Amino acid sequence: EAQVTQNPRYLITVTGKKLTVTCSQNMNHEYMSWYRQDPGLGLRQIYYSMNVEVTDKGDVPEGYKVSRKEKRNFPLILESPSPNQTSLYFCASRERDEQYFGPGTRLTVT
């Protein structure tokens, strides 16, 4: 089954404690991205990757890092989380304009 998986699904953490959200896809897609979804603002792209070792900033990259060492994995790293990063995060992978989203990670930073 074609899918994008994310872990963890729910995370509550404190300001400044580094965290990583993992993302993996089994469709051999080259293009992967991370979004955050906030009420009234919709989905906003954080970072994207065109292929292994090729990443670039999206619309809201501040406070986030990513890496793409393997084609299937695209982790999102928050080095020093802050409360304004409390949000619902989605990983996605894409072939042409068919984009597949993961189930989401709800992050709360206190």
d(CA 62, CA 47): 10
Which residue's CB is nearer to another protein, number 63 or number 104? 104
**Smallest separation, CB 17 to another protein (Å):** 25
Residue 56 or residue 70: which is nearer to another protein going by CB?
A: 56
CB 86 within 8 A of CB 108: yes
- 31 touches 48 (CB < 8 A): yes
Q: What is the contact mask toward another protein in residues 10 to 29, using x (rule: CB under 8 A)?
A: --------------------
Report yes or no: 21 and 89 within 8 Å, Cβ to Cβ.
yes
Within 84-103, the residues that bind another protein by CB under 8 A are 90, 92, 94, 97-103
Site for another protein in 29-48 (CB under 8 A): 31, 33, 40-45, 48
Q: In angstroms, give the least distance from the CB of 16 to another protein.
A: 28
Query: Counting contacts by CB under 8 A, is residue 62 touching another protein?
Result: no
Is-contact 64 78, C-beta < 8 A?
A: yes
Q: How many residues does the chain have?
A: 110
Under 8 Å between Cβ of 107 and 21? yes
Footprint of another protein on this chain (CB under 8 A)? 4, 31, 33, 40-45, 48, 50, 58-59, 90, 92, 94, 97-104
